[in-house]
Amino acid sequence: MAKPQPVPSSLMGPLERFLLSAPDAAVGHLLMTMEVWEIQVLEKLNTRLRYWFYGYGRRTWDFETFLKLYVPRPATLLSLIDGKHAMIYGGAVLRFFLRFGSKKCPLDICTTLAKYYQLNRVLRDDGFRLTHPRTRKTSTSHDLVGDLLRRVGVTHNTWSLAADKSWAAEDHVGYLFQYRKRCRGEYITVNLHLVRCEPYRHVLGGPITPLTCYMTNFEAGAPFARSTFRLSLAFALRNFHLLDIRLGRPYSVESHFRTVSFEIVKGPPNARKTYFTAETGSRRLGDGFTWTIPRKGHDPMLPPAPRQGPAFEALDWNMVCDDLGTYMSIGEPFVWRYYFANRAEIQMDDDSSSDV
């Protein structure tokens, strides 16, 4: 009896042959019907598809191409987004990951005072005009910030990263500077959020987990990648009330090709279901739960080197519960040590008072 012949390693399946030989437009239309996590699986099949995915990823998730939707000099803007003093985040970056980039979605940038003036100059040089807050024609950005500092009751020297360690985004969104520019009959909007904390704190203090996607001049990251892109879940954070959406309705992102909807998951008193797939525990930006896209290329045969970014801790409602319907609370370990110590002290006081 003849032995079966081994299958040649060079044999291609129909999908692989199509991806490698079909016109780029046809391949693009096919891939836009697939989820981003499904496309990532293809690179793990063989060496050919790994190199193909590397090229596709470099073209699809290109930082400069994405930012060129908003500004004519994307490299100049990116040079200021260092991650330490400024980060791009929110709905626009979520669209970047979903391949749904659109200039109709405002670009949100959170920045400290150290980078605000430079970002303001770049936007004004690119034709943007400040539309909020309303100012006199003779007012400058220095006048605006000076008025803000006087209202807050601080000076340029005391407005620092250590001045405010709050994790609540609502503590910072009041310092919003909105810039607009008319281009080909459409308005492009860029929002500068002047914050008094490390930018990553502001990013992680958003309303839902999909909107914690961020971009710097060296990487883009989605801290809750599995729940966002594979499970289509949006866990409510403590500032969920900042999101203008009705209870029970999903959060949707639309494009010309399709619409992606995320089920909003809330905690008590709205719901009490526990999702064991949630990316909770001790975390860092760029860890194994984060989908990280490096700006610079790397060897496709080697995985990107993990980056030990800023540390934070994510706890679900079983550990930290409020009356706002928050499912997940994000903070630093020392914040939670302080929180649980106070909670234990309050519990002891209640027990002692009940014994009297």
The pLDDT tens digits for 270-287 are 999 999 999 999 999 999
- 294: pLDDT strictly greater than 80: yes
Residue 113: pLDDT band by 50, 70, 90 thresholds?
A: confident
CB atoms within 10 A of CB 280: 21
Residue 335: pLDDT band by 50, 70, 90 thresholds?
A: low
Q: Which two tokens stand for residue 298?
A: 């790397």
Contact 237, 328 (CB under 8 A): yes
Partnered with residue 111 across adjacent β-strands are: 86, 194
Evaluate if pTM is beyond 0.75: yes
The pLDDT tens digits for 77-89 are 999 999 999 999 9
Contact 230, 37 (CB under 8 A): yes
- Tokens 């539309």 locate to 131
Contact 286, 216 (CB under 8 A): no
Q: What was the pLDDT predicted at 148?
A: 65
Q: DSSP letters along 198-234, please?
A: -HHHHHHTSSBGGGG-EE-SSEEEETTHIIIIIS-EE
Gyration radius of the chain's alpha carbons: 23
- 353: pLDDT strictly greater than 50: yes
CA–CA separation, 312 and 172 (whole Å): 19
The pLDDT tens digits for 132-168 are 776 555 566 666 676 666 665 555 555 444 445 555 5
Computed over every residue of the chain, the mean pLDDT equals 84
Tell how many helices (H) and how many strands (E) occur in the chain. Answer: 12, 14
Share of the chain above pLDDT 70, in %: 78
Residue 174: pLDDT band by 50, 70, 90 thresholds?
A: very low
Q: What was the pLDDT predicted at 79?
A: 97
Q: What was the pLDDT predicted at 132?
A: 77
Helix intervals (H) in the chain: 14-21, 24-32, 36-42, 47-60, 63-67, 74-80, 91-98, 113-125, 141-152, 199-204, 225, 333-355
Annotate 100-129 with b (16+ C-beta within 10 A) or e (fewer). Answer: bbebebbbbbbbbbebbebbbebbeebebe
Q: Please, how many CA atoms are within 13 Å of residue 209, restricted to the half-sphere of its CB?
A: 32
